[in-house]
Amino acid sequence: MRFGYFDDGTREYVIETPRTPYPWINYLGTEDFFSLISHTAGGYCFYRDARFRRILRYRYNNVPADAGGRYLYIRDGDDVWTPSWMPMKSELATYQCRHGLGTTRITGARNGVTAEMLFVVPLGETAEIQQLTLTNTSVHTKELRLFSFVEFCLWNAWDDQTNFQRNFSTGEVEVDGSLIIHKTEYRERRNHFAVFGVNAPVAGFDTDRETFLGLYNGFHEPEAVLEGSPRNSVASGWAPVGSHCLEVSLAPGESRQFVFVLGYVENPVDRKWESPGVVNKERARALMARFDSPQHVADAVAELRDYWSEMLGTYTLASPDERLDRMVNIWNPYQCMVTFNMSRSASYFESGIGRGMGFRDSNQDLLGFVHLVPERARQRIIDIASTQFADGSAYHQYQPLTKKGNHDIGSGFNDDPLWLIAGVAAYIKETGDFAILEEDVSFDNNPDDSASLFEHLKRSFHFTLSNLGPHGLPLIGRADWNDCLNLNCFSEAPDEPYQTTANREGRTAESLFIAGQFVHVAPDFAALADHMGFSDESAAALIHAQDMERAVLDHGWDGEWFLRAYDFFGNKVGSRECEEGRIFIESQGYCVMAGIGVDDGKALRALDAVKEHLDSGYGIVLNQPAYSRYHVELGEISSYPPGYKENAGIFCHNNPWVMIAETRVGRGDRAFEYYKKLAPAYLEEMSDVHRTEPYVYSQMVAGKDAIRHGEAKNSWLTGTAAWNYVAIAHHMLGVRPEFEGLRVSPCIGPEIPGFTVTRKCRGATYVIRVTNSLRHPEPRLAVNGEAIQGTLLPYAPVGTTVTVDCVT
């Protein structure tokens, strides 16, 4: 069942009913100011850091779901309704929500009035613009009263939801004409405030929640609105809100537009005040002036559209499959941008207070976005690397506002360091910017302890080598990619966090995943070392990789597939000898991606075992059989009921590793089959089962052991976005940058008989026409009409366009 449709022309998903199976959200903002907005206008916004600079309050796991957002109440006679359906839930004559690239448009109509709300965070601004277009479609004059509404968060979102003894007394606002200023804590150490303004005179306002709603009322029964008049309340402590009241008279057929601006403003410390106790509003006024007319909003929307067109023009696909085109051209890169910006911090499943930027996550997110914003990827790499420790290990997370490592989580996830090599290699392949390797980058943000970025990579690589276990395989530490495989944790106490508890500090538990990862990044590391002139380091890296491969084949092959790990006691994890958890996906995907067992048939066997034991109608599950009870020696993985999350859920992030592995052994048809099971555009028809947004990937789909098999959770912020992009764009469609040239090597099976990829890279444009006849073991390429040897195109001069014909 569908709840909307894709409008590829406008690059929007159009939701046709507010009763979607879950709130379907969008993200507004590109750099510093971000909004989460659901199809019923729920959600919140923040400046840079969802924990420390939260602008609107949002109550997670609320009843009803998704209550709280930016609402507009329309009072028409005695009737009160909201065009976003929530919170009034009055029946609407029409309803539509268009989530697009950085814009959301919600339109509702009732009793001969149509209200369209356009939400956008313009480029370069720290504000959410809410433009209302109100039209009288009836034959009578309409006398309407409008009440805007937002509820402010007292900045620190954690404190805001926990420290009530303090924060019920700190709230402060100022009202100046049509400007509502939220200035809690501005009197002391903050030099920022929020402004909520509108480009029209107001008939009144409210800023105190209790006065506006009534103490025992929900958002659907605001007393001020139901009684028809604002109370001009000025919040003092408790809960500051922003509500403007506008009086509008509309002749039949008449339309009017209003622009509301919800902004974040910082003042220089010495210019905080206009007069004692009165906020200096110069910058707020300037912001309002920039959006004082619909034309300015239209310009901002057009500018954003061009920004996206330009960016998405870096890689475009024309194929006979429109679902594939819309994934590759629009929605998958869009989600990659969001994961790049948010990491795992703020979504409808991540509260914005728990996690900052993941070391591992951010490096992987970069893989999906590096070609779109290389300069920002460069900065991101430096930020991440600056949190690394001198011994090569890494903080697991850092806070986006301070860019400092997060002490609460600390380090000890032994896969983390190697992801930095993958991220940097991807960046250099895309840009050719080898100079980044010579950048001076500190360790643990200590300016007195720094080294070149290359040295950081070297320490990453050697971190693995200095942390090998009894079988010569990498020690897992607290966990590897799978946060829930906690082999040193041994937790028996309910409140111990699995991720940071190590009740046994052993040097025995080993990871086949990290082994595969090591072999996978080694050639890139060696190439970079070579480039730096360190040929001994380079040669040694390749030998280390061979040794690791040997260790995998000698100690990590279970007969039909790769083991997953050795536990603390040296017992096998992911072996046919195990009672539960006999086979895992991660090591099959990563070891084969690394090329292990490709020559001797082991890779094929491992992938066939994945098909046989792990595949399901909705994707590949993480392990089988699911753990049916808690295994103290395995940790969190066995804490989940069978079929959910890391315990045999379809953990979508790792499925693309198997897709890429399938292309590695030449089975493009199987890779594409897996691809279609997960790609949201192919799941639109089963939205009632899947439940999350049909335009973005979710982290997890309930596996075959779960009662709710096929139901997705944790949409948006997941490495699934970047990795699926890499799988389809680089490996199935087969166009990917390498250090020395652009590789063209499609492997997608017969379902896509031909396609054209237009790829911009390092200043040149490549128009690649593929005839996918599947007749040649190696694709045959002609460049500007001339056949070439092999599948690597040398990079063309800046400004040129190269036509490539490729026949498979």
Residues of this chain that bind ligand GLC (CB under 6 A): 344, 358, 360-361, 481-484, 499, 636, 645-646, 653, 699, 718
Q: Decide if 314 contacts 152 (C-beta within 8 A).
A: no
Q: Which CB atom, from 361 or from 524, has the smaller least distance to ligand GLC? A: 361
DSSP-derived pairing of the beta strands 764-771 and 801-807: parallel
441: DSSP letter: E
Interacting residues of 719 by C-beta distance below 8 A, sequence separation 6+ = 339, 361, 364, 365, 653
> Least distance in Å: CB of 645 to ligand GLC?
5
Cβ proximity to ligand GLC: between 238 and 349 the closer is: 349
* β-bridge partners, 98: 14, 105
CB of 654 to ligand GLC, least distance (A): 8
Which 8-state DSSP code applies to residue 172? B
| Nearby residues of 677 by Cβ (< 8 Å), 6 or more positions away | 617, 618, 619, 655
Which is closer to ligand GLC, CB of 464 or CB of 482?
Answer: 482
User: What tokens were used for 317?
Assistant: 């696909």
Q: Is 188 exposed, middle or buried (0-12, 13-18, 19+ CB in 10 A)?
A: exposed
Q: Rank residues 135 and 364 by Cβ distance to ligand GLC and give the closer one.
A: 364
- Nearer to ligand GLC (CB atom), residue 174 or residue 646: 646
Contact call for residues 245 and 145 (beta carbons, < 8 A): yes
What are the two backbone dihedrals, phi and then psi, of residue 564, each rounded to the nearest 5 degrees?
-100, -35
* Cβ-contact 188, 82 below 8 angstroms: no
The bridge status of strand 94-100 relative to strand 127-136 is unpaired
Tokens (6 digits) for 223: 């007393």
Structure tokens at 266: 């910082």
Q: Which is nearer to ligand GLC, 421 or 770 (CB)?
A: 421
Nearest position to ligand GLC, beta carbon: 483
CB of 651 to ligand GLC, least distance (A): 6
Three-state SS at 358: strand
* Cis omega (within 30 of 0) for bond into 474: no
Tokens of 755: 């396609």
Residue with smaller CB distance to ligand GLC, 213 or 476: 476
Rg of the Cα atoms in the chain: 27
What H or E segment, with its residue span, contains residue 261?
A: strand 255-266
Smallest distance, ligand GLC to C-beta of residue 505, A = 20
Of 78, 80, 81, 110, the C-alpha closest to 95 is 110
CB of 369 to ligand GLC, least distance (A): 16
Residue closer to ligand GLC (CB basis): 490 or 739: 490
Q: For tokens 């490495």, name the residue.
A: 719
Strand order in the sheet with 712-715: 650-651, 698-701, 712-715
Least Å from the CB of residue 498 to ligand GLC: 6
DSSP state of 328: I
Catalytic status, residue 483: yes
Give the SS3 label for residue 263: strand
Nearer to ligand GLC, 396 or 555 (CB): 396
Q: What is the largest CA-CA distance in the chain?
A: 84
Helices 655-664 and 585-593, axial angle in degrees (round to 10) = 40
Structural contact between residues 242 and 150, judged by C-beta atoms closer than 8 angstroms: yes
Which residue lies nearer to ligand GLC by CB, 335 or 699? 699
Closest distance of CB 718 from ligand GLC, Å: 6
For ligand GLC, the closer CB: 288 or 489:
489
d(CA 353, CA 581): 33
- Neighbouring CB atoms inside 10 A of 302's CB total 10
Cβ distance 587 to 562 under 8 Å?
yes
Which amino acid does the sequence have at 431? T
- C-alpha dihedral, 677 to 683 to 688 to 694, nearest 10°: 120
Q: Tell me the closest approach of the beta carbon of residue 552 to ligand GLC, in angstroms.
A: 20
**Identity of residue 551:** A
Q: Least distance to ligand GLC from the beta carbon of 606, Å? A: 20
* Marked catalytic residue, from 208, 483, 567, 615: 483
Residues 6+ positions from 536 with CB-CB distance below 8 Å: none
* Number of C-beta neighbours around residue 395 at 10 A: 26
Q: Which is nearer to ligand GLC, 479 or 583 (CB)?
A: 479
* Closest CB 593 distance from ligand GLC, rounded Å: 16
Instruction: Report how far residue 680's alpha carbon sits from residue 693's, in angstroms, rounded to the nearest whole number.
Output: 8
Residues in the chain: 808
The answer to whether residues 650 and 620 touch, using CB atoms and an 8 Å cutoff, is yes
Instruction: Tell which residue, 778, 769, 754, has the closest CA to residue 801.
Output: 769
> Which residue stretches of 201-321 are H helix?
209-213, 223-227, 282-290, 294-312
Report in angstroms how near the CB of residue 398 gets to ligand GLC at its nearest.
13
Nearer to ligand GLC, 537 or 636 (CB): 636
Preceding peptide of 268 cis, ω within 30°: no
456-458-463 Cα angle (round to 5): 95
DSSP helix/strand/coil, 334:
helix
Active-site residue list = 483
